[in-house]
Amino acid sequence: MKTRIAVLFLLPIIFWTANLHADWKSDWEQTVAAAKKEGRLNLYVGRYGQAALLDEFKKDYPEIKIASVNGTGDQLATRIAAETRAGKTIADIYSGGPNSSYSLLYRGKVLDSIKSAFILPEVLDESKWYGGKHIFTDSEDQFILSTLRCPASAACLTTPTSSTRKNLNLIGI
């Protein structure tokens, strides 16, 4: 009798887990399809040295062209804030320093939640991140992700077969 109770108890969990698995796959496929349809990724980058990561993205998603705007964090954050005030949200991804991210973009209420854009299980699983958690610098823990480092190496960001790297690129990190 105990075996049946355990099995009956586990069945809803198994079906619920299967639905979660299907949901993230569907969400991921929709996100990729929408990105391919748009055909362009506007990257505002306040630091350099991302060429290898962008080259991998281009290999995996040749249908999506990358338009890169370079500058200091303050220059780009000021530009993003001005574009937003003008009703023209152009930047898809902003990578810059903590001061401009917080002072100009977060406090100016310009940012969308990056946390709500996490889709893949390995991105959602905080144990796979440096320090075993997502590290945000905003008080709401959802707008400014402060690290991309992975435990022991950055392989999860640069290995061509890594879906983690693909998700980080598409969601805007």
Q: What are the sequence ranges of the domains in the chain?
A: 35-171
Contact residues for 105 (Cβ-Cβ < 8 A; gap 6+): 77, 80, 81, 94, 111, 144
Q: What is the CATH number of domain 35-171?
A: 3.40.190
User: What is the spatial distance between Cα 99 and Cα 104, in angstroms, rounded to a whole number?
Assistant: 8
User: What is the spatial distance between Cα 113 and Cα 98, in angstroms, rounded to a whole number?
Assistant: 16
**Given the structure tokens 């003008």, which residue do they identify?**
86
Per-residue pLDDT 10s for the chain (173 aa) are 443 444 334 333 333 434 445 589 999 999 999 999 999 999 898 766 677 778 888 999 999 999 989 898 899 999 999 999 999 989 988 888 888 888 899 999 998 898 988 999 988 999 988 888 898 889 999 998 886 554 444 444 444 334 433 333 333 33
Q: What are phi and psi of 113, to 5 degrees?
A: -65, 120
